[in-house]
Amino acid sequence: MNGTNISAERLREFAAHIFQAAGVESDDARRAADVLIWTSLRGVDTHGIRNLKRYYIQGIDDGTIDPVAQLQVERESGGTATLNSNAGLGLCHAVQAMRRAIDKADSGGVGVVTVRNANHFGAAGYYAHMAVESGMIGFAATGYFFPHGQRTAVVPFGGLLPMLSTNPLAMACPCSEMPPFVLDMSTSISAFNRIELWNELGRTIPTGWALDEEHQPTTDPSNVHKLVSLGGLDRMGGHKGFGLALAVQILTGLLSGAWREDPKPDRILGDRAEAKDGFGQEGIGHIFAAVRIDQFGPPDQFRRGVDAMIKTLNESPPRNGVDRVYVPGQLEHEAERKRSRAGIPIHESTLTDLRELSARFGVALDVP
């Protein structure tokens, strides 16, 4: 993406100070800023600093996000915990929840933590990668279910009503010499953030990504009403993407208690704040897990094995028009190295948002 390049550290300090000015406690503000900047550094511009105003400060402004809410333990065992975000800032509460999962894995081998009544947590890959930094395998996922449909959401396979969020999932594991394996994917063909970004960039989207209000394929990102599950609309694979989305919803919505009887109406997201058959979703649901590799075998052997697998794939013959075979996380690692040196390119629309935040909160934005 082309734009004005700003160093990661400048953006990190700016974002942290904006969060603080909006009422977020200092440590939480820095946690939230770290998530956004890590994501932008890795070239995932859909979920990085671009969303500071439109997702998080806007959420604080409209009351969806409580900037001072505390993460509350509702149930806990040696290896598990069920947490209530109390409508807090998803970025920092997700960091705390993943840290709890890692701590549980450190003492017991495996840690699994769910969060309910939560808000958008940015890129799932960040939290899975946290486990890698502790030498573990990490997993993170998030989801939401709109039983009455929603203006823009994912249609169930064979259905007309947009009912699911893009329900992303992430997994990461350490290597020995190679960059960590980091899978971060939506269970729809495209995340809605990407469609929004392409609209800002004046680009059309590929046929098959999304549908308009009349359930017809569209390439106009401004006309998207319904997103399509991985695999598309037919039996070539769309049922599999839909199945993955439901699996994520079960782990994030039901296991966390987010999809619940008699939910609070003011925490039901979407166009209709009503339950369905007695159930509704109270805020977004998350799940985080960490696994200690040494509980299953020698960690060095595991890491070298991942290296060997990745190298074998990289060295396999690419098809015409492709320079090499990549595995998840490699392109993002290359982007991180480049952007750490040259800065993060900020598109004009995002720069406008950042300037507005700078003026509103009196936080300097140093732009070259």
Query: What digits encode the pLDDT tens for the residues 341-363?
Result: 999 999 999 999 999 999 999 99
Does residue 349 lie within any of the structural domains? Answer: no
Calculate the average pLDDT of the chain.
96
User: Residue 11 domain-assigned?
Assistant: yes
| Section 276-295 average pLDDT | 96
Q: What percent of the chain stands above pLDDT 90?
A: 92
| Domain contains 323 | no
User: Is the backbone of residue 180 left (phi > 0), alpha (psi -120 to 50) or beta?
Assistant: beta
Specify if 338 maps to a domain.
Answer: no
On whether residue 352 sits in a domain, the answer given is no
pLDDT for 68 beyond 70: yes
What pLDDT is stored for residue 236 in this prediction?
76
Place of tokens 């300090």: 13
Question: What's the mean pLDDT in 204-220?
Answer: 95
- What are the phi and psi torsion angles at 161 (to 5°)? -95, 125
Per-residue pLDDT at 1? 65
Say if 106 falls within a structural domain.
yes
Read off the pLDDT of each residue in 259-271 and give the average, rounded to a whole number: 89
Q: Is residue 355 part of a domain?
A: no
Res 235 pLDDT > 80: no
> Is 362 domain-assigned?
no
Note down the domain range covering 171: 4-306
- Asked if residues 100 and 113 have their Cβ atoms less than 8 Å apart, the reply is yes
Residue 301's CB: how many other CB atoms inside 10 A? 11
The CATH number assigned to the domain holding 52 equals: 3.30.1370.60
* Overall number of domains in the chain: 1
